[in-house]
Amino acid sequence: MLKKIICFQAFALLAATQALAQLYVGPGASMYVAANTPITTDSLVLIPSVAMTLGSTEFTHSNTPVPGLSGGASILQAYTLATQLNFQGTIGLYYTDDELNGNAEPNLQLAYNNGTTGNWVTTTGTTVNTSTHYLSRVFSTPIQFAGITATSTGVALPISILDFTARAEEQRVRLDWEMTVTDPVVCEVERSADGHRFSALEKVALNTANRTYRIYDNQPLQGTGFYRLRWNEGNGIAKYSPVRSVVMGSPAQQGLTLYPVPVHNRLYLNLSGTAAEGSYVTLASMDGKTLIRKDFSGETMSLDLQVYPTGIYLLTHYNGASIRHYKIDKSK
């Protein structure tokens, strides 16, 4: 097991030299990474599509493959993170012929370890360049991961879920997922208003003959609803899918007016309508650390951001059963 220190290729000159400048983000430290700035560590490439902040980040590289559920395994290259990373953008991976480990190169798919549940998710939609031995997958919405590898299409790494999506369709929510199981199992679709406390929505019987499943939530929550899948493995331990969110209802009725954008020192918030009892907002950094929590006592409030560095932050408004997220761009 060999620990790798993050290496940032922000300048073309660095790529042409033998000794690359290296930067380690240790405990208590943080670093701002601009959008579209490549981050490389060994053969792993991260290109965020939005600015992000790294803190206490360390990657570990292993040549031990991740075994599949019923045969197959990942390539001989796997990365783990000491703490999960919230990421949006492109994840790429270089490999060699000797590292394929029996996987057919054109069928490779990126797989990531969900940092919250510890489950491995084999993705679809990976682009593979067999000439340069490089694969990449674009994540247009944020994911949380604590590990990266690649495997063949259809090979389920320790967890059998391959994909899970939720989207609004007129006045209902459509939920689609793809799973492979070696024995029949019951999967429970769960729903939440706050992303933390979930309750059962519907039970679906999974079998070995099918891989794709779909249900509808015909009476979705107004505002933001969160969804996940829950099932028990053979040892009786409950496993969960990544959480997906869908916003329902009129944004004008649910949302905030934020100004100025981008913000320099003070951010002003104006609520459309009346704040529900217990309404409040939080401001978090892109690594998930909560920086501010403030209750709504009326229809307006302001947040002092002067002490925080330039970058992208996540503002979350909790208004009764409604939860909305806003991206905040803090300028110099």
Model's pTM, two decimal places? Answer: 0.46
C-alpha torsion sign, points 179, 181, 237, 217: positive
Task: Name residues whose C-beta falls within 8 Å of residue 168's C-beta, 6 or more positions apart in sequence.
Answer: 174, 220, 246, 247, 248
User: What pLDDT shows up at residue 8?
Assistant: 38
User: What pLDDT shows up at residue 25?
Assistant: 56
Q: Which of 275, 276, 279, 308 has the alpha carbon at shortest distance from 291?
A: 308
User: What pLDDT shows up at residue 273?
Assistant: 61
User: What pLDDT shows up at residue 126?
Assistant: 94
On the CB side of 214, CA atoms within 13 Å amount to 6
User: What pLDDT shows up at residue 233?
Assistant: 64
How far, in Å, are 8, 101, 136 from residue 95 at the CA level? 19, 11, 11
**Which H or E element spans position 94?**
strand 78-94
On the CB side of 160, CA atoms within 13 Å amount to 24
Domains of the chain: 2-152 (2.60.220), 163-248 (2.60.40.10), 251-330 (2.60.40.10)
On the CB side of 96, CA atoms within 13 Å amount to 5
User: What pLDDT shows up at residue 13?
Assistant: 28
Q: Which of 141, 156, 154, 155 has the alpha carbon at shortest distance from 231?
A: 156
User: 260 preceded by cis ω (within 30°)?
Assistant: yes
* Distance (Å, whole) CA 106 – CA 118: 27
Asked whether 320 and 278 are in contact (CB, 8 A), the reply is: yes
User: What pLDDT shows up at residue 95?
Assistant: 96
* Distance (Å, whole) CA 66 – CA 68: 7
User: What pLDDT shows up at residue 15?
Assistant: 32
Backbone region of residue 14 per phi and psi (left: phi > 0; alpha: psi in -120 to 50; beta: other values): alpha
Q: Which of 317, 316, 305 has the alpha carbon at shortest distance from 263?
A: 305
Would you state the structure tokens that stand for residue 161, as one six-digit string? 């879920």
Would you state the structure tokens that stand for residue 33, as one six-digit string? 């990474």
**Which H or E element spans position 12?**
helix 12-15
Asked whether 161 and 206 are in contact (CB, 8 A), the reply is: no
Mean pLDDT per segment of 10 residues, for the chain of length 332 residues? 40 30 51 87 90 79 76 85 85 95 92 72 90 94 88 64 78 85 80 88 85 89 85 71 75 63 83 69 86 82 89 83 79 77
